[in-house]
Amino acid sequence: MIVVMKAEASEEELDEVLAAVPKDKYDSHIFRGVDRTVIGLIGKGKDKETLKNRLSSYSSVDKVIAILDPYKLTSWNFKPEKTVIQLEHVKIGGEKPTVMAGPCAVENEEQLMTTARAVKKAGAEILRGGAFKPRTSPYSFQGLGEEGLKLLAKARQETGLKIVTELMDIEHIDVVTEYTDIIQIGARNMQNYPLLTAIGQLNKPVMLKRGMSATIREWLLAAEYIMTEGNHQVILCERGIRTFGEETRNTLDLSSIPMIKEISHLPVVVDPSHGTGRWELVRPMARAAVACGADGLIVEVHPKPEEALSDGPQSLKPDKFALLMEEISGMKNYLNRKISRNLQSVV
């Protein structure tokens, strides 16, 4: 349930209300909004009606709303303001789309540094690059592991780009967290609940990719797994789902962007590289993603895609990536980005 405090409620009154919640049955998640504070109570207590009545009786409480729908911490009910993830000067979920770009996998220093410099010059703010790679075949390049993370950190140091890289299992949580700014949870791990629970306990932004055949409901519930542990810094990433088409690697479900924005305050970014599997389709789909309200893009870029150790066919060369950046910055209509439950920003 959601407890909406009155605008004038003091910290002491908030503490009083929190103290009335049975700690053994409910976890309290506090959201301090611009106007007022909201408490999200998540738990399995059987006495919900009694608790609702008790909390409603406090003069500092405006209203208590029971949430019956499956979305709790991800929903606008809990947080009527949009989530903006802030990494120093870089924002995800702000006024303009944030672009993450880089190779599918970190292969060597030269490849990474060349790519990092190129994407930075073109206007990207975050460098992507896998060090632990989930490959379909056990015989394919599996990533450089910690050495790859060190190269990413070096690229960050030189370019000022932030880093996003994939965490594949609990075993590597410490090492990946040490180096990265954003933890990527890949499509294959979207429903790895022990992993989601573990990263929910960190204080680090997480980019949760949509599972290969996940519904929007399953995807948002995966985000709930992370948030209910206390980590509310979640970015969703639409990366396409499996359908019957053979011409593209996946079907990029752009309708999920406005759909999620109806339900959730979380930022959504789009991956047109994995979403299509073909570099020729990346720019058109990136433009379409921005036009329908995506908060950002994650794009694979490689200096020599024909020599890439993974995902070459869907990687843009730096010149094409620069073109993409020009195209989207020319789209005046970063249209109607939803900034709160009812409001759309006017650009």
Smallest gap from residue 271 Cβ to Mn ion (A): 9
With CA atoms as reference, report the closest residue to 268 among 337, 315, 222, 322. Answer: 337
- 187 part of the interface to ligand PEP, by CB under 6 A: yes
Give residues in contact with Mn ion (CB under 5 A).
Answer: 104, 311
Of 123, 134, 145, 313, the one binding ligand PEP (CB under 6 A) is 134
The answer to whether the beta carbons of residues 161 and 125 sit under 8 Å apart is yes
Residues 244-283, mask of contacts with ligand PEP (x by CB under 6 A): ------------------------------x---------
Pairing of strands 90-92, 85-87: antiparallel
Phi, psi of 141 (to 5 degrees): -55, 125
At 87, which helix (H) or strand (E)? strand 85-87
Q: What is the DSSP letter of 81?
A: B
Site for ligand PEP in 76-115 (CB under 6 A): 104
Of 104 and 187, CB closest to Mn ion:
104
Of 72, 162, 209, 302, the one binding ligand PEP (CB under 6 A) is 209
Of 156 and 209, CB closest to ligand PEP:
209
Q: Tokens at residue 207, please? A: 């980019």
* Secondary structure of residue 206 in the 3-state scheme: strand
- 55 part of the interface to ligand PEP, by CB under 6 A: no
Of 107 and 311, CB closest to Mn ion:
311
- 302 part of the interface to ligand PEP, by CB under 6 A: no
134 binds, among ligand PEP, Mn ion, none (CB under 5 to 8 A by kind): ligand PEP
* Secondary structure of residue 337 in the 3-state scheme: coil
**What size, in residues, is the chain?**
347
Q: Tokens at residue 53, please? A: 């009545």
Residues 211-250, mask of contacts with ligand PEP (x by CB under 6 A): ----------------------------x-----------
From the list 186-194, 256-264, 328-336, 337-345, the region that binds ligand PEP by CB under 6 A is 186-194
Q: Within the chain, what is the greatest distance between any pair of CA atoms?
A: 67
* Secondary structure of residue 245 in the 3-state scheme: coil
Phi, psi of 146 (to 5 degrees): -60, -35
Could you list the residues that contact ligand PEP (CB under 6 A)?
104, 130, 134, 186-188, 209, 239, 274
